Amino acid sequence: MPEQAPGVRIDGLTVVYKTAAGELPAVRDISLTLEPGTITGIVGESGSGKSTLALSLLNAVQPPGRIAAGSVEIDGLGDVVGLRGEELRKARGRHVGYVFQAAQNSLNPLKTVGKQLLDLGRSHGVEDLRGLVREAKELLGRMGLDGARVLDSHQHELSGGMRQRVGIMLALVLNAHLVVLDEPTTALDMITQANILKIVREVHAERGLTTLVITHDIGVVAEVADRLAVMYGGRLVEQGPTREVLGAPSHPYTRGLIKAIPRLVGDIDEAQALPGRPPTLTSVPDQGCVFRDRCPLRMDVCDTVDPAAVPLGSRIVACHAVNVKEHA
């Protein structure tokens, strides 16, 4: 078991879904490195492929989807794309903790949290179940909950914020050091969201984790992540240190997204909507840039050639217009 934060290297990952129109890529040729001990945030709209990418970390893409190409190397585990059966099952939970989108719906409504915890322990062959319960109580206490009471509760007795914390506890209790949080604060109130994000940051630091946060909300990433990766139409269009990307976004999509957020001070009319709408699995163009229909910087080359992800200083950007400008 790794006692340190593992690094993750995703290389050329492509995930396709089988549809009536043939196999369509939900995630296309994505390369992303999670440095050990960092929090990376992936931002994207619905259909951008962000959840599919996160599931690939567990090699848990369900049919009709499959990983068609690429690799996901996790320190201490190797390439998870090659893992099968028992090996894969054991890796999940032990090495990679996953907090599912809407943790409120991922708990069993018929069992108390404690019983589900014991199930988790047994299925992973934990011998010291008492120790597991102790660890769970400690984690819950750390997150500001009364551990004993929560373990005795059914999910309907817990509030949204409490369930989300239970989800985080279940992801960490087997001592995983790589944690994926899929939309950790969607459907939570502002104050609860702020609480959860604070907990994510603190637990990340205290336990020495590598964390991946998937969200549609740039604000969430801005609060917690060291690095930010922006997905659009199955492609990673920009990645870099969060503050830099937010302060001076390079890709026209990132720029548009940030501009579309109404703020609390300043001229409210500066907020501008992005024209058009995001592509779906079936409407993603099969050649050229995925963003060109909504892009203010569109050039002829964008129609035919998919821009490669090119390093630009501390960032990686996939845009013809940005690259032309940089090299001019």
Binding footprint of another protein on the chain (CB under 8 A): 45-46, 144, 189-194, 197, 216-220, 222-223, 242-247, 256-258, 260-266, 268, 271-274, 277-278, 280
User: Which CB, 68 or 281, lies closer to another protein?
Assistant: 281
Point out which residues pair with 316 in neighbouring strands: 239, 311
Cα distances (angstroms) measured from residue 165 to each of 108, 123, 148, 194, 226: 15, 22, 14, 13, 22
A 10 A CB-CB count for 147 gives: 21
For 283, half-sphere exposure in the C-beta direction (CA atoms, 13 angstrom radius) is 11
> Residue 84 is encoded by which pair of tokens?
């099968």
Give dist(CA 204, CA 178) in Å, integer. 10
A 10 A CB-CB count for 20 gives: 6
Task: Note whether 228 and 39 are within 8 A (CB).
Answer: no
Give dist(CA 146, CA 140) in Å, integer. 7
Minimum distance between the CB of residue 21 and another protein, rounded to whole angstroms?
Answer: 16
User: Which CB, 14 or 192, lies closer to another protein?
Assistant: 192
Amino acid at 41: G
Task: Note whether 156 and 52 are within 8 A (CB).
Answer: no
Minimum distance between the CB of residue 43 and another protein, rounded to whole angstroms?
Answer: 8
Minimum distance between the CB of residue 222 and another protein, rounded to whole angstroms?
Answer: 5
Minimum distance between the CB of residue 312 and another protein, rounded to whole angstroms?
Answer: 17
Minimum distance between the CB of residue 221 and another protein, rounded to whole angstroms?
Answer: 9
> Residue 176 is encoded by which pair of tokens?
């995983």
**CB neighbour class for 248 (10 Å; exposed up to 12, middle 13-18, buried from 19):** exposed
User: Which CB, 91 or 220, lies closer to another protein?
Assistant: 220
Local structure of residue 247 (DSSP, 8 states): H
User: Which CB, 9 or 198, lies closer to another protein?
Assistant: 198
Give dist(CA 198, CA 76) in Å, integer. 28
User: Which CB, 50 or 95, lies closer to another protein?
Assistant: 50
User: Which CB, 176 or 231, lies closer to another protein?
Assistant: 231
User: Which CB, 43 or 133, lies closer to another protein?
Assistant: 43
Minimum distance between the CB of residue 248 and another protein, rounded to whole angstroms?
Answer: 8
